[in-house]
Structure 1
Amino acid sequence: MAAPVETFFLDPDAQGTLQAQIQQMIAEAILSGRLPRGEKLPSTRKLSTHLGVSRITVTLAYTELQANDYLSSKGRSGFYVSENAPEPPSFQPRARGEDKVDWHRAIGNHFTGGSTPQKPQNWRQQKYPFIYGQADPKLFDHNAWRLCALRALGHKDHEIMMGDYYDQDDPQLIEFIARHILPRRGILARPEEILITLGAQNALWMAAQILLTQRRTAAIEDPCYYSLRDVLTQSRCHLVNIPVDRDGLPPEMLPDGTDVIFSTPSHHSPTTATMPIERRKALLARAKELDAVIVEDDYDFEMSFLKPPSPALKSLDREGRVIYVGSFSKSLFPGLRLGYMVGSEPFIREARALRSAVLRHPPGLIQRTVAYFLSLGHYDALIRRMGSAYQERREVMNQAIEETGLTIAGRGVFGGSAFWMRAPDGVDMDKLAGQLNAKGVLIEPGTPFFRGPNQPTNFYRIAYSSIPAARIPEGISLIADEITSAERSGAR
């Protein structure tokens, strides 16, 4: 196959004849390594048409390059980069020139500088990865997933998989969510009230875009999921931070004028607090007084291996005030980036239109593969397998924490995948995280979860979702030693 003709163009500021310019253009492509030895060049007819020059000009340029051993010809097959062409020298590409755009003026909205921290990409190489939100590949049924993907690629589903859903979703996936996933949370919903998203964060972003303006007020938990705070800050709405207690968000602290309430009642992020039923009812009552909407992020509910989780807040809603957000990122794998949003039809209609304008819909192949994985029972088997493994790891971690004298600030009532920890006052866990990283221990400092500027630095989160049980005690011991050393040295 010949090199794409679209990759060839003449420099409008170049000097010399057209023939010389074409020779220089091709020679530079060979010398830069863009055209390797043996690469076929576009035909003289195609290149002349593309460049808008005569065919004889291109032919003469090719012939001259052949004479200089840059090109070779193979009968009627065409011209190729010669096997004797000069080797590309090891030099830096020619600079494109100094950037003349004043980006401080040109950029109208800023999305950098938020609370969301950089997560380590090499966590698999660390011996003690107490990192939250990553999956253990040993627990996942790769063969079942592969078979589901192959089935989705089969002839039967070809038209559905290859087609454009426009603003719709895979009907099989929607049906399974409506009939099997949501009833487990006490939620009944019609297909018109369900939208597939690119994970929970995408759903939260869409909710903020639809519900909030610069004149409206959003209430969030403090501490809270840092990416949510970034999303709401970028929306430029009025933002109220509500300190949580052991039962989650206190409804009585929601101020008058609140329009949208973001909450994680089943498994608070990051403290893991579970909101009791009576407080959930009080939250719905307060939302009614405020005429506010609640966005419920029901993350990690699948990891309920100690006892069944409480019904979702959405299941108690009788006025359509709750927008429910779920995700497959924690239960399947985070790289899947697939979730769902449930709400009243007018809201979902707007969310569907917004999604269509931004990305049309999540890939059809992924949706159909997940639909098969769920409907064939692989999902439920995975949840049971993960629950069993997580329960063992939780027990090992809990014992190791007790033996080393570390302090748990929050542990999930129903299970979960992490502990919310507190070091002695003054200990800087941001600093200790770097020191632990050098020893192969990965933890998540708690500072980004709190609003600034006086965030506490002594909180941290340790997860057991991606570390084998056998390595947990030694890793916990290293954390305890580092905290003890920091206290003794006064490096706080």
Structure 2
Amino acid sequence: MAIPAETFFLDPDSDRTLQQQIQKCTAEAILSGRFRPGEKMPSTRKLAEHLGIARITVTIAYTELVANDYLTSRGRSGYFISENAPRPPDFPSSQSKPSAQVDWNRALGRRYSGYVSITRPPDWNSFRFPFIYGQADPRLFDHQNWRLCALQALGQKDFEALTSDYYERDDPHLVEYILRHILPRRGIAARPEEILLTMGAQNALWTAAQILLTQRRTAAHESPCYPGLREILTQTRCNTVAVDVDSEGLPPEKLPSGVDVVFTTPSHHCPTNATMPIERRKALLERSVQEGFLIVEDDYEFELSFVKSPSPALKSLDKAGTVIYTGSFSKSLFPGLRLGYLVAPEPFIQEARALRTLVLRHPPGHIQRTVAYFLSLGHYDAQINRMGRAYRKRRGVMEQSLREHGLTLAGTETYGGSSYWMQAPENVDTGELSRRLRADCVLIEPGQVFFGPGTTKRRCYRIAYSSIASERIPEGIRLISEAIQAAEPT
């Protein structure tokens, strides 16, 4: 690799000669490990032009570095870092530490680390039985057509979409497809002014919380719930109320009075997968109108409904404009895409757009245009159908295996989703169970994190089938069952 000339600079106040400064800059870079053996130095002409000095000055400096074995000359090929150059020390330099230590306990105005989140090993895909949620299965993804759409988005025709700063705008092609094809499937009608693209559903939830909540307002969320949402609400410093869900999701009658915003996942509750029936959705909307609170609907995994057709979105039943709808392509395409959207009345979207502009401007234009092509050319629908067939098969295998090995659901059977919310026998800590199962190459998700810090609810766990092949499910379930039996107190 060639070392850029811009790496070098001269200090006009230095008492060293120009040659000495070039030698010092080169030697320090080699000893720090920034320049490595075999890398090519800038040509004497290029470095002289960059530094604004005579070429002979650079040549003399290089010659001295060759004599000291820092550089080697290869004729017309130029100068390279010598293989025999002094090696950087194996221990960190004491000069790398600042002379004055910062007291970060006092310096940090707010803290964002330390909260309990869903964790999985970085090498999760090397485990034979990865019953983990939300990861893409490469066997189900249409790599070829995605690649073609990405290449099309790189073409000259889409040069502006690739390179331009959209400021507060979104890709009109992607917005149009969402409005005309995605939202109608959920019974939602909207205008372009009522939609905003986000960096995934979590970014959408954060945006809604930032705009709607203050320290004097109260937010209600489901319990158990998505851990990221709980932390988002905590960071707003608002008052929070956790409402226990049942087999039909969030009970509207359990909401306390004085709530300003309700966060809910009615299509597939996270993590239980409970689906809120139409009657309960209407009751929640009626109460929002009567008491004046807003609803933030996280409508993830609505495509994955196997027993019967998915219920209409809460937003589709909203006549008063009290629902802020969030959707995402992360689960239906792949989680690394980080692309979602908000649908809400125009005054809210106006503020959300302004906030997004301040924080991240907009999602990358090339990603937006690639997704627009992938959707408009029919590849997205084919992807959903392919995933649906595979998940339906895996779900059937999973159900049979759960029955055979006597594992218990934490609640009632659900209509879809890509996971099961499970319950171990009393006094079984699923956190410890998870650690033991890793030795058998099995990954499960302990449920404590969904209840928040300080909870004593350690019996629940989640197992998903989005990342595991059907033929491996029975053996994996057997290993989970045996580990639970071994963990039960005698």
- Structure 2: stretches of 5+ with no match in the other structure: none
Kindly provide the CA deviation profile for residues 55-88 of structure 1, in whole angstroms up to 9, marking residues without a partner as x: 776554333223334335578x796225564263
The 3 A distance-change label for structure 1 pair 388 and 411 is farther
Match of 1:202 in 2: 203
Aligned residues: 488
Match of 1:27 in 2: 27
Match of 2:350 in 1: 349
Shift of 1:41: 3.2
**8 Å Cα contact 2:428-2:458 kept in structure 1:** yes
Q: Does 1:401 align with 2:437?
A: no
Which segment is superposed worse, 244-253 or 127-136? 244-253
Match of 1:273 in 2: 274
Which segment is superposed worse, 15-24 or 284-293? 15-24
**8 Å Cα contact 2:223-2:244 kept in structure 1:** yes
Amino acid at match of 1:159: E
Amino acid at match of 2:66: Q
Match of 1:305 in 2: 306
**8 Å Cα contact 1:287-1:293 kept in structure 2:** yes
**Distance in 2 of aligned mates of 1:140 and 1:427:** 37
Identity of aligned residues (%): 64
Kindly provide the CA deviation profile for residues 390-411 of structure 1, in whole angstroms up to 9, marking residues without a partner as x: 1111111111111111101146
The 3 A distance-change label for structure 1 pair 339 and 412 is farther
**8 Å Cα contact 1:323-1:342 kept in structure 2:** yes
Kindly provide the CA deviation profile for residues 298-326 of structure 1, in whole angstroms up to 9, marking residues without a partner as x: 01101112211110000010111000001
Match of 1:62 in 2: 62
Amino acid at match of 1:217: T
SS in 1 for 2:121: coil
**Distance in 1 of aligned mates of 2:418 and 2:191:** 31
Match of 1:324 in 2: 325
Shift of 1:217: 0.8
Match of 1:440 in 2: 441
Which segment is superposed worse, 123-132 or 244-253? 244-253
SS in 2 for 1:23: helix
SS in 1 for 2:297: strand
Shift of 1:436: 0.3
Match of 2:71 in 1: 71
**Distance in 1 of aligned mates of 2:469 and 2:177:** 32
Amino acid at match of 2:22: I
Normalised by the size of structure 2, how large is the TM-score?
0.93
Amino acid at match of 2:189: L
* Matching of residues 6-405 of structure 1 within 5 Å: 6-9=6-9, 19-42=19-42, 60-72=60-72, 80-81=79-80, 83=82, 85-86=84-85, 88=87, 91-95=90-94, 96-98=96-98, 100-405=101-406
**8 Å Cα contact 2:448-2:460 kept in structure 1:** yes
The 3 A distance-change label for structure 1 pair 57 and 175 is same
**8 Å Cα contact 1:267-1:412 kept in structure 2:** no
Amino acid at match of 2:23: Q
**Distance in 2 of aligned mates of 1:201 and 1:163:** 25
Which segment is superposed worse, 244-253 or 459-468? 244-253
**Distance in 2 of aligned mates of 1:154 and 1:52:** 39
SS in 2 for 1:323: strand
**8 Å Cα contact 1:41-1:78 kept in structure 2:** no
Shift of 1:364: 1.0
**Distance in 2 of aligned mates of 1:255 and 1:460:** 28
**Distance in 1 of aligned mates of 2:354 and 2:121:** 35
Which segment is superposed worse, 9-18 or 346-355? 9-18
The 3 A distance-change label for structure 1 pair 192 and 455 is farther
**Distance in 2 of aligned mates of 1:55 and 1:137:** 54
Match of 2:450 in 1: 449
SS in 1 for 2:136: coil
Shift of 1:46: 6.5
The 3 A distance-change label for structure 1 pair 460 and 38 is closer
**Distance in 1 of aligned mates of 2:407 and 2:83:** 68
Kindly provide the CA deviation profile for residues 443-467 of structure 1, in whole angstroms up to 9, marking residues without a partner as x: 0000010033233000000001111
**8 Å Cα contact 1:197-1:340 kept in structure 2:** yes
**8 Å Cα contact 2:74-2:80 kept in structure 1:** no
**8 Å Cα contact 1:133-1:334 kept in structure 2:** yes
Amino acid at match of 2:155: G
**8 Å Cα contact 2:31-2:89 kept in structure 1:** no
**8 Å Cα contact 1:134-1:465 kept in structure 2:** yes
Normalised by the size of structure 1, how large is the TM-score?
0.93
Shift of 1:374: 0.8
Shift of 1:39: 3.6
Match of 2:482 in 1: 481
SS in 2 for 1:324: strand
Shift of 1:414: 2.7
Kindly provide the CA deviation profile for residues 170-191 of structure 1, in whole angstroms up to 9, marking residues without a partner as x: 1111111000100000000111
**Distance in 2 of aligned mates of 1:283 and 1:345:** 22
**Distance in 1 of aligned mates of 2:348 and 2:482:** 51
Amino acid at match of 1:154: G
The 3 A distance-change label for structure 1 pair 454 and 40 is closer
**Distance in 2 of aligned mates of 1:174 and 1:378:** 17
**8 Å Cα contact 1:187-1:315 kept in structure 2:** yes
Match of 1:467 in 2: 468
SS in 2 for 1:61: helix
Kindly provide the CA deviation profile for residues 140-164 of structure 1, in whole angstroms up to 9, marking residues without a partner as x: 1111111111111122212222222
**8 Å Cα contact 1:144-1:378 kept in structure 2:** yes
**Distance in 2 of aligned mates of 1:92 and 1:307:** 63
Shift of 1:27: 1.7
**Distance in 1 of aligned mates of 2:83 and 2:250:** 72
**8 Å Cα contact 2:71-2:85 kept in structure 1:** no
Kindly provide the CA deviation profile for residues 356-389 of structure 1, in whole angstroms up to 9, marking residues without a partner as x: 1111111111111111111111111111111111
Shift of 1:37: 4.2
